[in-house]
Structure 1
């Protein structure tokens, strides 16, 4: 099986500091992966490179069946290729309803005239209802996004990303600030999403990672230190030394 995303030998320095050091990573089309590591391990820079926010000094980032180079594309073009990123803090339109947030995220012609003349259709209403159901907000459609709990805002933002039918989702610390019930619901959601697309979860919370029950990649000093099941990597002496502590 060829990988959906293939990152090969990327390096990136900022003012002499090597944030990414010859890092290679791949993920298949329907796979859930957790990425863990201490602060400064390169997790954010890795996501920045995949999404086009940062250019590596060397290496390659290849995408899809045709192994298209993402390094030749802008951030907007990479997003249109089907790579969605959810940052740690939810960014939703708080003074708009849940339904309106989802409507704004739908795939549509974004030219000025098309936007001015746009009216909801039966298909767009159905899609909004579908997305809300998928992320557990079917009964919250009329509520203002600002009234939602922290966890619900996270789900709404995931729903907004799903509106553009991404093939790869990069999700940064989704469990942070959630109640136990919200974390369990988030685990279920991410596992279900990974049945039909690639999902990379960057997370510090080991209990949450264990619930995901997926392959884990450990980063340290900008490189892959270990990879495998959570039990496998947490028994690795190097991972214990640099990340878990003895």
Structure 2
């Protein structure tokens, strides 16, 4: 399978603190990957670099078949290139319905003129219905998003990202604050998404990571400490020492 994203030799320091230290990371076209590590391991900074929020001091971040450098691109250009990111707290338009949130997120020309003149087609309505079905919110399409449970808001935000049809989805702690049933649905949602795109999940919850059943990358002090199946990395002496505790 061809590489979609390649991070190589990336380092970044903030006020003398090295948050990312010679980090190398690769993800393939349609792959699920979990990224774990103790607090301060560099997980958020790693996502900030990929999405253009933070520029590293050194190294390369290459994207797609043509190995285009993401470091020369703005945050909006990176998003347009097909990288979607979901933060820990769901950010949805609470006064708008679920359907409106999904409709606004559809991949469309974004010029002010195009936005003003936008009239949804029957295809757009179909796409919204299809997305609502995928995320398990068909029955809530006409409800205000502010009325949804925490878990449902998380699914809606994942749906809004999927509406953009990204090639890489970065998801930050999706299981936090969810009920067991919501976690299960979130697992299915992400596993399904990873069949057609790359999905990187940053997570603390080991049980959730186990259910994703994917390759795991352990970060420590800004670099990769171990990589492999969850069983492989959790039995690694170095990982036990720095992360799982003796």
Q: TM-score range by the shorter chain?
A: over 0.9
Once residues 227 and 109 of structure 2 are traced to their aligned partners in structure 1, the CA distance between those partners, rounded to angstroms, is 41
Q: Counterpart of 2:211?
A: 211
Q: Counterpart of 2:105?
A: 105
Instruction: Provide the secondary structure at the position in 2 that maps to 1:60.
Output: strand
Q: Counterpart of 1:116?
A: 116
Instruction: Provide the secondary structure at the position in 2 that maps to 1:211.
Output: helix
Between 1:140-149 and 1:118-127, the stretch displaced more is 118-127
Once residues 114 and 3 of structure 2 are traced to their aligned partners in structure 1, the CA distance between those partners, rounded to angstroms, is 36
Moved over 6 A (4+): none
Asked if 1:20 is matched to 2:15, the reply is no
Instruction: Provide the secondary structure at the position in 1 that maps to 2:89.
Output: coil
Q: Counterpart of 1:223?
A: 223
Deviation at 1:108, TM superposition (A): 1.5
Q: Counterpart of 2:176?
A: 176
Q: Counterpart of 2:158?
A: 158
TM-score, normalization by structure 2: 0.99
Once residues 111 and 32 of structure 2 are traced to their aligned partners in structure 1, the CA distance between those partners, rounded to angstroms, is 35
Once residues 198 and 97 of structure 2 are traced to their aligned partners in structure 1, the CA distance between those partners, rounded to angstroms, is 29
Instruction: Provide the secondary structure at the position in 1 that maps to 2:41.
Output: coil
Once residues 21 and 173 of structure 2 are traced to their aligned partners in structure 1, the CA distance between those partners, rounded to angstroms, is 23
Deviation at 1:195, TM superposition (A): 0.6
Aligned pair count? Answer: 246
1:159-193 Cα shifts (integer Å, max 9, x gaps):
00011100000000000000000000111111111
Instruction: Provide the secondary structure at the position in 2 that maps to 1:4.
Output: strand
Q: Counterpart of 2:76?
A: 76
Once residues 115 and 64 of structure 2 are traced to their aligned partners in structure 1, the CA distance between those partners, rounded to angstroms, is 31
Deviation at 1:116, TM superposition (A): 1.8
Once residues 114 and 61 of structure 1 are traced to their aligned partners in structure 2, the CA distance between those partners, rounded to angstroms, is 32
Between 1:102-111 and 1:13-22, the stretch displaced more is 102-111
Instruction: Provide the secondary structure at the position in 2 that maps to 1:21.
Output: strand
Where structure 1 has 5 or more consecutive residues not aligned to the other structure, the ranges are: none
Q: Counterpart of 1:46?
A: 46
Deviation at 1:119, TM superposition (A): 1.5
Q: Root-mean-square deviation (CA), in Å?
A: 0.7
Once residues 41 and 135 of structure 2 are traced to their aligned partners in structure 1, the CA distance between those partners, rounded to angstroms, is 30
Deviation at 1:97, TM superposition (A): 0.2
Q: Counterpart of 1:58?
A: 58
Q: Counterpart of 1:237?
A: 237
Once residues 66 and 114 of structure 1 are traced to their aligned partners in structure 2, the CA distance between those partners, rounded to angstroms, is 30
